[in-house]
Amino acid sequence: MTALPAFFAPYQDAINRALERVVPGEPASTNGGAPAVIDAMRYTLLAPSKRVRAVLVMLAADICGNDNRALPAACAVEAVHAASLMLDDLPSMDDAPLRRGRPSAHRQFGEAIAILAAFGLLNNAFGHLSREYDAVLATRLVTLLADAVGLDGLVAGQAEDVLATESMLSFETLERIHRRKTGVLFSASATAGALTAGGSERDIAVLTAYAKNLGLAFQVVDDLLDVTGSSEETGKVTRQDARKTTFVSFSGVEGARALAEELCRTACAALEPFGRRGAHLRELADFVASRRL
């Protein structure tokens, strides 16, 4: 098991504390089944997690010179990600029994509550951004995340993934699915962090290149872990993708590992304009390349 970089812990603590406020335990008004939805939202959102995307938001802001305003955006990204996991695990989709080492949300709360909780998290994410930032920045961040979720993002990627489960995919199709399901949110995370810090267009371009390569590397490693990891290590059921086309299908285990490492090296190289300020992001890329969980 590869340990997270040491600098992750303070970021994770801050993010976890802030996430508590995104979905408070005591709703402002309770009626009918709302407490169940809130519980389901909190169950998935606050489950033990590496918070890679949220930390990426914070690091992108930090590298652009100011991470003081990045926490709400990090929470919104994490909420969107949690929502996507809940939907991804549904019986009509991947039908995953485990998530983050626990029964998946639909197994715990039922399918209907899980779906509602996922929508609740999405709306909370956008609402959180609108409340926490000024109108101009909030608009940009909401648009950014909406695009990441939408028809060139998570929704499109998941739809194509669901429809393509039984067929052998082309490499380009596989890349497109993963880009939309994973890469787009990685890129949005980096861009969101830069936007909250007032980063320049150049900063955003550099961070986008970094996140794009990192996102794909993350997915390639995910595919590898599905083949080589155990449920105890990954917190989810492995060999789940045996019937699916993955990067491992194209290049074999060692080839996929080599490509993941190369993608991470490219991500690190993209950070050259930031010089030594990119140290944490490079550590993050190293971690992704070598992660075992």
Partner 1 sequence: MPPSPDPRVDELREQLKALGYLDARVDRFVLGGGAKRGRGAALAAAASARLGALAGVLLGPAAAIGLRARVPGLVASGTDAIVLAAYLAIFFGLATMLVSGAAILVGAAIARRSAASPGFPRRARQVAAAAGLLVGLACLVYLSLWWHTATGAGSGSLAWTIAIVLIAVTISLLLGHGVLVTVLAFLARSGLARSLEPGLPLSSWRTTAPLAALSFAGAVALLVAAPGTRLEPAPATLTVVPTNQRVVVVGIDGIDVPTLDRLRRAGRLPQLDRLLAQGVGSLASDPDRDPARVWTTLATGQPPERHGVRSLEARRVPGLEGRLQPGASGWSAITAATDLLRLTRPTIASGETRLIPAFWEVAARAGLRTAVVHWWATWPAPDDSGIVISDRALLRLERGGPQDGEIAPASLYQALQAGWSDRRTRAASEGAAAIAAALPGDLSAAMRRSAELDATLIDLAADPLLGTPDLLVLYLPGLDIAQHALFESQSAGALSPSAAADRLAALEQYYVFLDQSLARFVDAGDRPARRSLGAGGPGEGGRSVILVTQPGRVEHAGAGMVALSGAVAATAQVSASATAVAPTILHALGVPVARDLASGPVLELFTGVFVDAHPLREVASFGARRSYARTGSGAPLDREMIERMRSLGYLR
110 contacts 33 by C-beta, under 8 angstroms: no
Q: Under rule CB under 8 A, how many of the chain's residues touch partner 1?
A: 29
Q: 235: which residues sit within 8 A by CB, 6+ positions away?
A: 98, 99, 100, 101, 102, 293
Give the interface segment with partner 1, choosing from 30-38, 123-131, 212-220, 233-241 (CB under 8 A). 212-220
Give the nearer residue to partner 1 in terms of CB position, either 112 or 258.
258
Stretch that binds partner 1, among 33-41, 82-90, 221-229, 266-274 (CB under 8 A): 266-274
Q: Taking contact as CB under 8 A, which single stretch among the options 14-22, 45-53, 70-78, 199-207 is the one that binds partner 1?
A: 199-207
**99 in contact with partner 1 (CB under 8 A):** no
Return phi, psi of residue 103, to 5°.
Answer: -55, 140
Min dist CB 206 to partner 1, Å, is: 7
Residue with tokens 């304009």: 273
How many residues are listed for the chain in this entry?
293
* Number of alpha helices (DSSP H) and beta strands (DSSP E) in the chain: 14, 2
Could you tell me which of 73, 62, 12 has the C-alpha nearest to residue 271? 62
Residue 259 found at the interface with partner 1 (CB under 8 A): yes
How far apart are CB 261 and partner 1 at their closest, in Å?
Answer: 11
Question: Out of 26, 68, 201, 275, which residue is the one contacting partner 1 (CB under 8 A)?
Answer: 201
Q: Tokens 């509550």 label which residue?
A: 113
Amino acid symbol at 96: A
Q: Which of 100, 106, 176, 181 lies at the binding interface for partner 1 (CB under 8 A)?
A: 176
Q: Does residue 251 belong to the site contacting partner 1 (CB under 8 A)?
A: yes
Residue span binding partner 1 (CB under 8 A) among the ranges 9-17, 98-106, 201-209, 284-292: 201-209
H-state helical runs in 110-199: 111-132, 135-149, 154-163, 171-178, 184-196
Residue 96 in contact with partner 1, rule: CB under 8 A: no
- Per the structure block, which two tokens stand in for 172? 């380009």
* Closest approach of partner 1 to the CB of residue 247, in Å: 8
CA distance 124 to 74: 13
**Contact set with partner 1 (CB under 8 A):** 151-152, 171-172, 175-176, 201-202, 204-206, 208-209, 212-213, 216, 247, 250-252, 254-255, 258-259, 262-263, 266, 269-270
